[in-house]
Copies of this chain bind each other. A is one copy, B any other.
Amino acid sequence: MTVDERLAELGIALPQPGNPVASYVMAQRSRSLLFLSGHIAKRDGVPVVGTVGGDVTREEAQQLARQVAIDLLSTVRAAVSSLDSVRVVKVTGFVRSAPGFTEQPFVINGASDLFVDVLGERGQHARSAVGVAELPLGAALEIEAVFEDVAET
């Protein structure tokens, strides 16, 4: 099964890749590595503002992280010839955390699980999750990633 077929099976439609909110690009390649810019939480294309553990529940945040992972895949697909040759290498999740909120791993699992659901073993990755005080536009979370394009020599 190709990744596109797997996405269809999961009922996931990749959105149009987003545009950066500033002076950079959404993904930059260095040989076989693809570095992805931080993608913030959005719902229907609109940033979701709030602190996790405050105005955003951990379950809502996990769903937001899943959507960010879909957005990241959309950016990857625009940068490579095919999603069938990519692997996830590293994910870093920044969670805008209310004081005392310590379940950043639970939140970022929304992204990690999506990658494994879609890419199988090639979706497995190293990861860090941290809690930060502020994020661009007040977004509830921001996730960046490093992918590898195994087709690239």
Q: Which residues of A contact B (CB under 8 A)?
A: 20-28, 30-33, 35-38, 87-92, 94-95, 97, 99-106, 108-109, 112-113, 116, 124-138, 142, 144, 146, 148
Contact = CB atoms under 8 A, between A and B. Distances in A.
Nearest to A88: B28
A28 B126 contact: yes
Given A32-B31, A136-B103, A130 B26 contact: no
A22 B146 CA distance: 19
Nearest to A96: B131
Given A22-B106, A109-B23, A129 B136 contact: yes
A136 B104 CA distance: 6
Given A24-B126, A130-B142, 10 more contacts: A25-B126, A35-B126, A99-B134, A103-B136, A128-B142, A131-B132, A131-B133, A131-B134, A132-B133, A133-B133
Copy number in the complex reads: 3
A48 to B, nearest CB: 13
Contacts of A99: 133-134
A149 to B, nearest CB: 10
Contacts of A100: 134
> Interface centre among A31, A87, A90, A99, by most B CB within 10 Å?
A90
